[in-house]
Amino acid sequence: MSGSFSVIHRDASCNARLGSLETPHGIIETPIFMPVGTNATVKAMTPENLQTVNAQIILANTYHLYLRPGHRLVEQMGGLHRFMNWDRPILTDSGGFQVFSLGELRKISEEGVKFQSHIDGSYHMLTPELAVQVQEALGADIIMCFDECPPATAEYDYVSRSLELTARWARRCKDAHHRQGQQLFGIIQGGMHYDLRARSIDDICSIGFDGYALGGLSVGEEKEQMYGVMECCSPLLPQDSPRYIMGIGAPEDLIEAIWHGYDMFDCVMPTRNARNGMLFTSQGRINIKAKVYEEDAGPLDPACSCMVCKKYSRAYLRHLYRCGEILASQLNTFHNLHYYLDLMRQARQAIKDNQFAQFRKQFVR
């Protein structure tokens, strides 16, 4: 196994922890949020913008890059870092979630998943071996095992069979992984069933990976169910490995996950919401489309230090959005990502000061 993860400090009042994860492209301080760069770009952000908002690591999508432009072209261009001019760490997902989101356009077997491209209708077979091969070619610092992600409504027996398939695929992923310096994370499934989650943890941890991720959350379940799974799994996971919850993004969910001892998170929420005019502030969410901001000369968030809040009024941001200007997406995304990454900075400081329980109170409803 590659990489080195260290727990630097544990908050005295809870399971929250500060960590350090070494990669070939730099050290990541955890807890950390990873902006999603689906097509080798975080929408509306340049790499320089991402550095300005202190993004330590970004996520790219294997499914989309496999279909377009193709992993071999990216490899020919020197790998994903050089292709997109990003010199900090990158994590790629396995493509599993996107494939399983295709519904009737895909068919699952022991070998893998046959699916139809959403781009041109062509058919492809994504196997655990191919998922690893594609991610090795892309050259990410951290790659993910190929897994089946059942919906939150799936029956118990189906979820039970699914996590067994995920474990067999995880073993195949590990056997197929050969790139030195690249970390491979295993994925825990099991739906909302605590006993199945425990089984999945046993199965995946017995194989042994550089880190462990909880999959199958934020797929339509209630928050209480999500938080229950977080709490159930945390004491069962290895203490000396990074813990990643895939796809959760609401600020209060991130804080709850950190409280339970998780380290890494990703979601499209801050970037997608930004493009739809929904902005995160220290006082809650703001719908910049609302007429109440038409003549508002104040900053988006007086407590925010980002360049958007320093330079532009709510009235101007509303005007840009209503006109459909590209700058609206750029400024809104910049602010939302600054908010998320600064939230992680504040969380790390609170843990360091043994004050995370107090910090969490502002997010608990």
- Which active-site residues does the annotation give? 93, 266
Contact 177, 2 (CB under 8 A): no
